Structure 1
Amino acid sequence: MDPARALRDIAFQLERAGEPTYRVRAFRQAAGVVDRLSAEELESRVRAGTLQALKGIGKATAGVIEDAWMGRVPAYAAKVSEADLPDGGPLRAALRGDCHTHSDWSDGGSPILEMAEAGRALGHEWMVLTDHSPRLTVAHGLSAERLRSQMDEVARVNEAVAPFRLLHGIEVDILLDGGLDQTEALLSRLDFVVASVHSKLRMPAREMTPRLLDAVANPHVRVLGHCTGRLVRGQGRPESAFDAEKVFTACRENGVAVEINSRPERLDPPMRLLRLAAELGCDFAIDSDAHAPGQLDWQVYGCVRAEQAGLAADRIINTRTAEDLLAR
């Protein structure tokens, strides 16, 4: 058993179960340390019991390495209980990709290549990388210069993961006036744009409604992300107020999909708004909004909610091929 693979598998399961980031990071960092060791040094340290002398390897991760090297199922893996996720049913089986994901270029925890490889391992044909735009400094949003540099990195990753396809996108902030937090010239070079509100979430509906309407009218926008901004876990956060009928009608008329955000702390939009958007004829994107590889599997939560709203696969843009997705 490959020790580095065993460490990364445990990290994936921890992420999937929503475990704390520091714990996941410990296993991924240890895997990186193992990657840099020669087979001879790894064997020597396992036999001598000196793995913990290496920076980045602690008691738990050393135990996993030793078990894997000896051909045993790591004892720690038995302690990691998989999240009790639903299977997602026919809708999950119909999904070809994920329109909303993040890497360590903004506020994600893993490199772009690792996210792409995880998406491929889940059976996706494609995935959209949508790191944040510059004004979201708390999330290390990408300046125009960094976004251009990321284009080159996405091209390199695509060479490594073909025929899986990583589309280059952005989760662009919707500004207070409804404008988008990136230049039109750069947005036109991207494959895909998710537009989301991250600031002034409590503004009155009379101001939030035109803000959202202007954003979805932008021809570059393909998805309206987590439209109410609510959080349903921890201290929580209430929904943003806006005229949902007007906004969802505008989404339909402009060919913008309403996102069914699958993050367990978001589950946005609420079911009453999801059903309203369905009744109004909107298309939808079932997205993980993953910030780590193990979170990509959270799409199943969105699939369950889409089924509850009576949505068929032909209303979900993730069921399209990459070519069809880009042929808008």
Structure 2
Amino acid sequence: MDPLAALRRIAFLLERQQAPTYRVKAFRGAALAAARLPAGDLERRAAAGSLADVKGIGPKTAAVIEQALAGQVPAYLVDLEDRSGELAPAGQELRAALRGDLHVHSDWSDGGSPVEEMVVTAAELGHEYVAVTDHSPRLTVANGLAPDRLRRQLDLVARLDARMPGLRVLSGIECDINEDGTLDQEDELLGRLDLVVASVHSKLRSPAPVMTERMLAAVNDPHTDVLGHCTGRLVASGPDRGRPDRRPESVFDAAAVFAACAERGVAVEINSRPERLDPPLRLLRQAVEAGCLFSIDTDAHAPGQLDWQLFGCERAQECGVPVDRIVNTWPVERLLEWTHRDRGNPPGAAGA
């Protein structure tokens, strides 16, 4: 097999299983180092046993390259594939109906890979569209995008969209919901984006009335398309092992918030990250009863995490989420019609 494809596949599977970052970087770094070599140099070095002399290629990654060039599936990859298996078998049917992912991060904020790598991986997974949604400026710990950086990213996204046949690259943001319920970005810029995910990242233990008013203000903002990970909970340690093992749910009036989402045509995110799985099943069922729209997203911070959509699909199927109310099962034309909707009469909202 192609040695670069083998290295990238290994990195993808390591990311998918939440392996330590240094292991992933070893294989992604080796793929980049191999790609930079002059034509034929990879083969010559493999034959001479000098691959490990190349900066960025170590003994393990050299063995992968040598075995791939010899026409074998590298042993390291075989072992990973055998141990990976299906992530969430019960979610496979719904995953087949999804056309894209609307919550994806890159190294422009707190992701680990360039936008280009995230986009290429989305295409390899069969997506028809993917939204680049890096953080907004208030979230400094995540290197959020100030307005000038977001403008530069918009140019990059437009260039990628133009050269990716078969995949629409959508501009977006995961916008912090400020304490007063406003969105953490300039209105002019929010109006230029294809999609806005609005999420609470601070003061998560505020009293229920305070959190409810904050979330209602954001849902009623004309720029909000998706309400991200609504409870903010953490049910396990994150892949960087730097996050707390657990974080309780925020408390808020779910009936009021979901009713507002349904009325305004704002989708409730089904966040697929294994340490989030947000909203909890009881709230997901409540949102279904309220008539909400939904978006099943990965909140991916690395290419391999784009496969986590299956976790959200499994939960959506368990709670009976109607497929036509999942916005990322829609063709891109319908999706963009929704994100540019008339907020006075949002298509797809409850009762429409």
Q: Does 1:130 align with 2:130?
A: no
Letter in 1 for 2:36: R
Distance 2:47 2:317 in 1: 53
Distance 2:73 2:95 in 1: 30
Q: Could you say what secondary structure the match of 1:228 adopts?
A: coil
* Partner in structure 2 of residue 27 of structure 1: 27
> Does structure 2 retain, via aligned residues, the 8 Å contact 1:102–1:292?
yes
Summarize deviations over 1:253-306 as a string: whole Å, max 9, x none. 111000000000000000111111111111110001111111111111111111
Distance 2:250 2:44 in 1: 58
Structure 2 gap ranges (5+): 238-244, 339-352
In the TM superposition, residue 60 of structure 1 has moved relative to its aligned partner by 0.9
* Partner in structure 2 of residue 246 of structure 1: 256
Alignment of 1:69-218 (within 5 A): 69-80=69-80, 81-87=83-89, 88-218=91-221
Summarize deviations over 1:189-230 as a string: whole Å, max 9, x none. 000000001111111112111000000100110000000000
> Does structure 2 retain, via aligned residues, the 8 Å contact 1:94–1:319?
yes
> Does structure 2 retain, via aligned residues, the 8 Å contact 1:284–1:316?
yes
Q: Could you say what secondary structure the match of 1:146 adopts?
A: helix
* Partner in structure 2 of residue 325 of structure 1: 335
Q: Does 1:225 align with 2:228?
A: yes
Identify which range, 102-111 or 265-274, moves more after superposition. Answer: 102-111
Distance 1:37 1:160 in 2: 24
> Does structure 2 retain, via aligned residues, the 8 Å contact 1:17–1:83?
no
In the TM superposition, residue 233 of structure 1 has moved relative to its aligned partner by 0.5
> Does structure 2 retain, via aligned residues, the 8 Å contact 1:16–1:83?
no
Query: Normalising by the residue count of structure 2, what TM-score does the alignment of the two structures yield?
Result: 0.91
Letter in 2 for 1:35: A
* Partner in structure 1 of residue 350 of structure 2: none
User: Which ranges of 4 or more aligned residues in structure 1 deviate by more than 6 Å?
Assistant: none
Query: Normalising by the residue count of structure 1, what TM-score does the alignment of the two structures yield?
Result: 0.98
| Number of residue equivalences | 328
Identify which range, 42-51 or 187-196, moves more after superposition. Answer: 42-51
In the TM superposition, residue 83 of structure 1 has moved relative to its aligned partner by 4.9
Identity %: 62
Summarize deviations over 1:1-57 as a string: whole Å, max 9, x none. 221111001111111122122111110010000000123321221122121122211
Distance 2:43 2:268 in 1: 52
Distance 1:214 1:254 in 2: 12
Distance 1:246 1:312 in 2: 21
Structure 1 gap ranges (5+): none
Q: Does 1:52 align with 2:62?
A: no
* Partner in structure 1 of residue 298 of structure 2: 288
Identify which range, 243-252 or 16-25, moves more after superposition. Answer: 16-25
